[in-house]
């Protein structure tokens, strides 16, 4: 990659600070089309991979605009290391083991089925939910899982190419997600 030394150093310093003092924080790279944002991100990604730092990438690919929770499904599948597990039952066991979800969340876990390719049993509670309550609870369980993954691995999460993408978590949940990453945007 050509140039952007200052920006690259700034990003690396930010990651190093995050590793020394893990705390939720967010860095936004914005600029005109074709200016090199993805190149800059890829340069940081190479460095992160070389350091062995945990990371996940979600992309707001326009073609997947109608896929519910698309960026987050990519990110959670990576953080939970589900991509190598084809069988829904194996994925489910892996999630249960790695996250140790409390019993009170069990009635909601089947909401993850279409998003993470798992097969938690669906309860009557879920079947009786109105669409809006269903969506609200789906966002809740997704955020809870994201929070638990972040606690365990302190990953760097990349959200790429979100231009024009209405964040599928919706404004309300995005605010909740933002509260996981509260420091100021730069």
Give the binding site for ligand ATP (CB under 6 A): 1-4, 31, 33-39, 161
Cα 153 from Cα 171, distance rounded (Å): 26
Task: Indicate the residue among 38 and 54 with the shorter CB distance to ligand ATP.
Answer: 38
Task: Indicate the residue among 8 and 147 with the shorter CB distance to Mg ion.
Answer: 8
Q: What is the DSSP letter of 55?
A: E
When CB distances are held under 5 to 8 angstroms depending on the partner's kind, the choice from ligand ATP, Mg ion, none that residue 4 binds is ligand ATP
Pick left, alpha or beta for residue 156 (phi over 0 → left; psi -120 to 50 → alpha; otherwise beta). Answer: beta
In three-state secondary structure terms, 31 is coil
CB of 32 to Mg ion, least distance (A): 11
Question: What one-character-per-residue DSSP string does 95-115 give?
Answer: HHHHH---GGGGGGGGGGHHH
Q: Which stretch binds Mg ion (CB under 5 A): 30-38, 51-59, 125-133, 141-149?
A: 30-38
CB of 93 to Mg ion, least distance (A): 37
Task: Indicate the residue among 98 and 161 with the shorter CB distance to Mg ion.
Answer: 161
Q: 9-16, long-range: CB within 8 Å, 24+ apart, which pairs?
A: 11/40, 11/44, 12/44, 12/47, 15/44, 15/47, 15/48, 15/53, 15/156
Give the angle 103-104-109 at the CA atoms, nearest 5°: 85
When CB distances are held under 5 to 8 angstroms depending on the partner's kind, the choice from ligand ATP, Mg ion, none that residue 35 binds is ligand ATP
CB of 4 to ligand ATP, least distance (A): 5
Task: Indicate the residue among 26 and 180 with the shorter CB distance to Mg ion.
Answer: 26
In three-state secondary structure terms, 138 is helix
When CB distances are held under 5 to 8 angstroms depending on the partner's kind, the choice from ligand ATP, Mg ion, none that residue 50 binds is none
Site for Mg ion in 32-91 (CB under 5 A): 37-38
Residue whose Cβ sits closest to Mg ion: 38
Residue 19 · residue 53 · CB < 8 Å:
yes
Chain contacts with Mg ion (rule: CB under 5 A): 37-38
């Amino acid at each position: 990659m050509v140039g952007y030394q200052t920006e690259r150093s700034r990003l690396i310093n930010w990651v190093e600070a995050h590793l020394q003092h893990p705390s939720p924080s967010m860095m936004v790279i914005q600029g005109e089309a074709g200016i090199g944002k993805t190149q800059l991100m890829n340069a940081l990604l190479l460095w992160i991979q070389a350091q062995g730092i945990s990371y996940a990438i979600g992309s707001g690919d326009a073609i997947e605009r109608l896929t519910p929770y698309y960026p987050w499904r990519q990110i959670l599948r990576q953080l939970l290391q589900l991509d190598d597990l084809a069988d829904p039952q194996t994925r489910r066991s892996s999630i249960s083991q790695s996250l140790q979800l409390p019993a009170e969340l069990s009635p909601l876990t089947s909401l993850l089925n279409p998003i993470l390719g798992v097969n938690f049993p669906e309860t009557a509670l879920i079947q009786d939910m109105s669409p809006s309550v269903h969506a609200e609870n789906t966002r809740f369980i997704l955020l809870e899982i994201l929070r638990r993954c972040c606690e365990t691995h302190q990953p760097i999460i990349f959200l790429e190419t979100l231009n024009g993408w209405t964040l599928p978590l919706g404004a309300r949940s995005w605010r909740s997600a933002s509260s996981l990453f509260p420091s100021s945007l730069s």
